[in-house]
């Protein structure tokens, strides 16, 4: 019995050494700084990353008195059939069949005893079936990062299912658990070579031989092929967008908006004060003359038309100033702020603004052209410190 477990441990050690050696040669999935990247990955569809496999090898049953004869006579044929799915690059599941035969020795004429060897020892042989579900953990992907073209993937697994022995007109059914190592060796995009070592644990009743201990089991080593179906591999999820610059920009815009709102309130208050201001009357050479206060009309940035509020201010100014001092020649100064745009653009914009106000005075309010002078200053004579206050036409 000790020789069996020694050989099993030696086989596992060799498989682990080979797998770790291949893994050491792989760079895995790395970023620009050569750091291993382990996800995240996009969720695959239900039928993506499906695989089916077949393998053959040997079973070695460890039951009562099975270590009596030579190791070679205990080897029985093994067959594995399975289907599974990789849920993530590191986590998978499969269902499968394992079995065919088990061989050994038994003391006395038990249910599966065949040929008598010596004394009361009989050669034992029976059919065996293990239907199981396994949880797979791809150690290579979990540790070294997912890489679809990696040559060797080292996959430990655990499983549970139903074990059945049969032969000589009798049978037994037992619950069984298993653990093992699966090595996937990549041959091409759709095909892997597999080398698997597995041990099944079950109740001692399975071989129909009573014994003192409660459990026994069977070790299987198989070699086979795995076929990868449908969509294969995993796609890395897009990196999350860093929204910090956008949040900072939004806060800046909110602060600017608050500042502009304050300035707009000041301008509104100033306009209201101008509307309520009466023309100043002065005495010149014994005659009372009206001194008309200038007015400023403000335009949106890049625009050459007035909004409703500014049009109201213009109409009020026409009624309260231009129509009162009928002998005065008024000058219209068009401007643009020098904080934005080029000199040429600002000159053209100031011309459009002053022409717009001129046309309103002449065509809408009937002001004589002889009483109006037009001066387009561009951005050469900004009268106010705030840029938005220089987007104006001043009548004076």
Residues 6 or more apart whose CB falls under 8 angstroms from that of 236 comprise: 29, 37, 39, 40, 41, 42
* Residue limits of CATH 3.30.1330.60 in the chain: 277-395
| 96 and 179 Cβ atoms separated by less than 8 Å | no
Q: Give 370's strand partners.
A: none
Structure tokens at 260: 């502009």
The model's confidence at residue 7, banded by pLDDT at 50, 70 and 90, is: very low
pLDDT value of position 252: 87
Nearest in space to 85 (alpha carbons), one of 45, 144, 54? 45
Instruction: Give domain 2-229's CATH architecture.
Output: Beta Barrel (2.40)
Average pLDDT, rounded, for the chain? 83
> Which segments of the chain belong to CATH 2.40.160.20?
2-229
Does residue 212 surpass a pLDDT of 70? no
Q: Is the dihedral of CA 127, 128, 131, 136 positive or negative?
A: negative
Give me the count of residues in the chain: 396
Q: What is the pLDDT of residue 56?
A: 97
**Torsion angle in degrees (nearest 10) through CA of 261, 266, 269, 275:** -110
Q: Report DSSP letters for 43-94, one per residue.
A: PPPTTTTEEEEEEEEEEEEE-TTTTSS-SGGG-EEEEEEEEEEESSSSEEEE
Q: What does pTM read for this prediction?
A: 0.52
10 Å CB burial of residue 240 (0-12, 13-18, 19+) is exposed
Burial class from Cβ neighbours inside 10 Å (0-12, 13-18, 19+) for residue 34 reads: exposed
What pLDDT score was predicted for residue 236? 72
Identify whether the C-beta of residue 205 lies closer than 8 Å to the C-beta of residue 172.
yes
β-bridge mates for residue 137, sequence order: 91
Q: Count CB-CB contacts under 10 A for residue 88.
A: 17
Domain 277-395 class, CATH top level: alpha beta
Task: Please return the burial class of 74, using the count of CB atoms within 10 Å of its CB with bins 0-12, 13-18 and 19+.
Answer: buried
Mean pLDDT to the nearest integer, 126-135: 96
Question: Looking at the predicted structure, is the pLDDT value of residue 4 above 60?
Answer: no
Which pLDDT does position 297 carry in this prediction?
Answer: 93
Confidence band for 17, pLDDT divided at 50, 70 and 90: very low
Q: Supply the pLDDT for residue 213.
A: 67
Residue 32 confidence (pLDDT): 54
What is the DSSP pairing of strand 113-118 with strand 295-298?
unpaired
Residue 261 gets the label, from left (phi > 0), alpha (psi -120 to 50) or beta, of: alpha
pLDDT band for position 2 (cuts 50, 70, 90): very low
Query: What residue ranges in the chain does DSSP mark as E strands?
Result: 50-62, 76-86, 91-107, 113-118, 121-137, 152-167, 170-186, 191-203, 215-229, 280-284, 287-291, 295-298, 330-334, 372-376, 392-395
Average pLDDT score over residue span 42-67: 88
What the block records as the tokens of 107 is 């003391």
Q: What is the mean pLDDT of residues 234-256?
A: 78
């Amino acid at each position: 019995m000790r020789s069996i477990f020694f050989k099993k441990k030696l086989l596992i050690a060799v498989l682990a050494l080979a797998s770790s050696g291949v893994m050491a040669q792989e760079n895995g999935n790395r970023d620009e700084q050569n750091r291993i990247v382990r996800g995240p990955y996009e969720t695959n569809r239900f039928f993506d990353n499906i695989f089916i496999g077949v393998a053959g090898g040997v079973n070695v049953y460890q039951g009562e008195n099975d270590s009596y004869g030579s190791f070679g006579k205990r080897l029985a044929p093994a067959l594995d059939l399975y289907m599974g799915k990789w849920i993530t690059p590191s986590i998978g599941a499969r269902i499968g069949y394992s079995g065919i035969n088990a061989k050994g020795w038994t003391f006395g004429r038990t249910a599966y005893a065949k040929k008598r060897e010596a004394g009361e020892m009989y050669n034992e042989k029976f059919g065996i079936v293990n239907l199981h579900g396994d949880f797979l953990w791809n150690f290579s992907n979990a540790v070294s990062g997912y890489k679809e073209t990696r040559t060797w993937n080292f996959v430990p697994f655990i499983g549970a299912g139903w074990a059945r022995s049969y032969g000589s007109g009798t049978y037994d059914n037992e619950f069984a658990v298993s653990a093992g190592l699966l090595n996937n060796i990549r041959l091409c995009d759709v095909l892997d070579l597999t080398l698997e070592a597995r041990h099944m644990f079950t109740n001692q009743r399975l071989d129909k031989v009573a014994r003192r201990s409660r459990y026994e089991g069977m070790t299987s080593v198989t070699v086979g092929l795995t076929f990868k179906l449908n969509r294969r591999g995993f796609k890395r999820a897009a990196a999350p967008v860093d929204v910090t610059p956008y949040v900072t920009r939004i806060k800046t815009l909110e602060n600017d908006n608050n500042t502009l709102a304050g300035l707009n309130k000041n301008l509104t208050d100033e306009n209201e004060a101008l509307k309520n201001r009466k023309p100043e009357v002065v005495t010149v050479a014994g005659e009372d003359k009206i001194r008309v206060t200038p007015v400023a009309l403000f335009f949106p940035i890049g625009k050459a038309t007035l909004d409703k509020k500014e049009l109201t201010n213009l109409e009020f100014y026409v009624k309260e100033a231009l129509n009162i001092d009928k002998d005065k020649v008024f000058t219209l100064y068009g401007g643009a702020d020098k904080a934005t745009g080029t000199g040429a653009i600002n000159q053209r914009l100031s011309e459009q603004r002053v022409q717009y106000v001129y046309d309103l005075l002449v065509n809408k309010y009937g002001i004589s052209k002889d009483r109006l002078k037009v001066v387009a200053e561009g951005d050469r004579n900004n009268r106010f410190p705030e840029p938005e206050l220089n987007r104006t036409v001043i009548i004076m």
